[in-house]
A and B are shown apart, each in its own frame.
Chain A
Amino acid sequence: MDRTRKLTGRPGRGFLRTLWDQRQLALMSVPMLLYVLLFSYAPLWGWITAFMSYKPAVPLFDNPWVGLRNFSWLFSRQEFLLAIRNTFAMSVINLVFNTVSAIGLAVLLNEVASRRYKRTVQTVTYLPHFLSWVIVVGLAQNAFATDGVVNQVLLSLGLIRQPLFFLGEGRYFWWLAGIIHMWKEAGWNSIIYLSSMSAIDPALYEAAEIDGAGRLRKIMHITLPGIKSTFVILLIMNIGMLVSGTNDGNFDIPYLMGQNLLIDWSQTIDIFVLKYGISQGQYGRATAAGIFKSLVSIFLLFSANRIARRLDEPTLL
Chain B
Amino acid sequence: MSGINLRHNPRTSRWMNILFHTFNNAFLLLAMLITLYPVLNTVAISFNDGTDALRGGISIWPRVFSLESYRGVLADEFVFSAFQVSVARTLLQTALNLLLTSMLAYALSRREYVLRKFITTVFVLTMYVNAGLIPNYLLISRTLGLSRSFWVYIVPTMISCFNMIVIRTYILNLPDALVESARIDGAGELRVFWQIIAPLCLPVMATVSLFVAVGAWNSWFDTHLYNAGRPSLHTLQYLLKMKLATTQASSNMAMQTTTALAARAPTTPVTIRAAITVISALPIMLVYPFLQKYFVVGLSIGSVKG
Interface of A is mostly: helix
Is the CB–CB distance between B20 and A111 below 8 Å? yes
Point out the residue from B13, B112, B190, B288 that lies within 8 Å of A28, measured CB to CB: B190
Is the CB–CB distance between A36 and B159 below 8 Å? yes
Is the CB–CB distance between B295 and A191 below 8 Å? yes
Is the CB–CB distance between B292 and A130 below 8 Å? no
B231 at the interface (CB under 8 A from A): no
Point out the residue from A123, A195, A286 that lies within 8 Å of B296, measured CB to CB: A195
Q: Which residues of B contact A130 (CB under 8 A)?
A: 214, 218, 281, 284-285, 288
- Known contacts A124-B32, A149-B41; is A244 also within 8 Å of B130 by CB? yes
Is the CB–CB distance between A32 and B32 below 8 Å? no
A22 to B192 alpha-carbon distance, docked (Å): 13
A183 to B27 alpha-carbon distance, docked (Å): 15
Shortest CB distance B43–A (Å): 11
Is the CB–CB distance between B112 and A127 below 8 Å? no
Interface residues of A (CB under 8 A from B): 1, 3-4, 7-9, 15, 18-19, 22, 24-30, 32-33, 35-47, 49, 56, 105, 108-109, 111-113, 117, 119-128, 130-135, 137-143, 147, 149, 183, 186-187, 191-192, 194-196, 211-217, 230, 233-234, 237, 240-241, 244, 246-247, 251-252, 256, 259, 270, 273-274, 277-278, 283, 286-287, 290-291, 293-294, 297-298, 301, 314, 316-317
B254 at the interface (CB under 8 A from A): no
Point out the residue from B36, B156, B158, B193 that lies within 8 Å of A124, measured CB to CB: B36
A-B contact pairs, 12 of them (CB 8 A): A26-B107, A29-B104, A40-B129, A42-B139, A43-B132, A43-B135, A111-B20, A132-B217, A132-B237, A143-B41, A191-B300, A286-B134
- Among all A-B residue pairs, the 8 with the closest Cβ atoms: A46-B135, A212-B7, A290-B132, A132-B218, A43-B131, A43-B135, A24-B189, A29-B107
Q: Which residues of B contact A128 (CB under 8 A)?
A: 35, 39
B31 at the interface (CB under 8 A from A): yes
Q: Which residues of A contact B220 (CB under 8 A)?
A: 132-134
Q: Which residues of B contact A139 (CB under 8 A)?
A: 38-39, 41-42, 277
A111 to B42 alpha-carbon distance, docked (Å): 32
Question: In the complex, what residue of chain A is closest to B242 when comparing beta carbons?
Answer: A134
Shortest CB distance B196–A (Å): 14
Shortest CB distance B236–A (Å): 9
Point out the residue from A36, A43, A214 that lies within 8 Å of B20, measured CB to CB: A214
A317 to B125 alpha-carbon distance, docked (Å): 8
Shortest CB distance A32–B (Å): 5
Is the CB–CB distance between A132 and B28 below 8 Å? no
Is the CB–CB distance between A215 and B20 below 8 Å? yes
Give how many A-B residue pairs fall within 8 Å (CB-CB): 287
B165 at the interface (CB under 8 A from A): no
A180 to B136 alpha-carbon distance, docked (Å): 29
Query: Which residue of A19, A42, A123, A132 has the most chain B CB atoms within 10 A of its CB atom?
Result: A132
Interface of B is mostly: helix
**20 more A-B residue pairs beyond the given contacts A19-B114, A121-B32, with a C-beta to C-beta distance below 8 A:** A3-B186, A4-B180, A22-B189, A24-B190, A29-B107, A33-B119, A40-B129, A44-B135, A120-B32, A122-B292, A124-B35, A124-B36, A132-B218, A134-B218, A134-B241, A138-B277, A191-B300, A212-B3, A233-B303, A298-B129
Question: In the complex, what residue of chain A is closest to B214 when comparing beta carbons?
Answer: A130
- Known contacts A4-B180, A29-B119; is A274 also within 8 Å of B244 by CB? no
Q: Which residues of A contact B38 (CB under 8 A)?
A: 139-140, 142-143, 149
Q: Which residues of B contact A43 (CB under 8 A)?
A: 131-132, 135-136, 138-139
Q: Which residues of A contact B225 (CB under 8 A)?
A: 278
Q: Which residues of A contact B277 (CB under 8 A)?
A: 135, 138-139
Q: Which residues of A contact B172 (CB under 8 A)?
A: none
Is the CB–CB distance between B138 and A46 below 8 Å? yes
Question: In the complex, what residue of chain B is closest to A144 when comparing beta carbons?
Answer: B38
Q: Which residues of A contact B41 (CB under 8 A)?
A: 139, 142-143, 149
- Known contacts A195-B300, A212-B4; is A294 also within 8 Å of B100 by CB? no
Is the CB–CB distance between A214 and B113 below 8 Å? no
Shortest CB distance A216–B (Å): 7
Point out the residue from A124, A134, A290 that lies within 8 Å of B133, measured CB to CB: A290
Question: In the complex, what residue of chain B is closest to A45 when comparing beta carbons?
Answer: B135
Is the CB–CB distance between B306 and A237 below 8 Å? yes
Shortest CB distance B210–A (Å): 9
B263 at the interface (CB under 8 A from A): no
Q: Which residues of B contact A40 (CB under 8 A)?
A: 126, 129-131
Q: Which residues of B contact A108 (CB under 8 A)?
A: 24, 27-28, 31
Shortest CB distance A139–B (Å): 4
Shortest CB distance A28–B (Å): 4
Is the CB–CB distance between B133 and A270 below 8 Å? yes
Shortest CB distance B173–A (Å): 15
Question: In the complex, what residue of chain A is closest to B144 when comparing beta carbons?
Answer: A38
A41 to B56 alpha-carbon distance, docked (Å): 52
Is the CB–CB distance between A215 and B17 below 8 Å? yes
- Known contacts A112-B25, A117-B25; is A287 also within 8 Å of B132 by CB? yes
Shortest CB distance A243–B (Å): 11
A211 to B13 alpha-carbon distance, docked (Å): 12
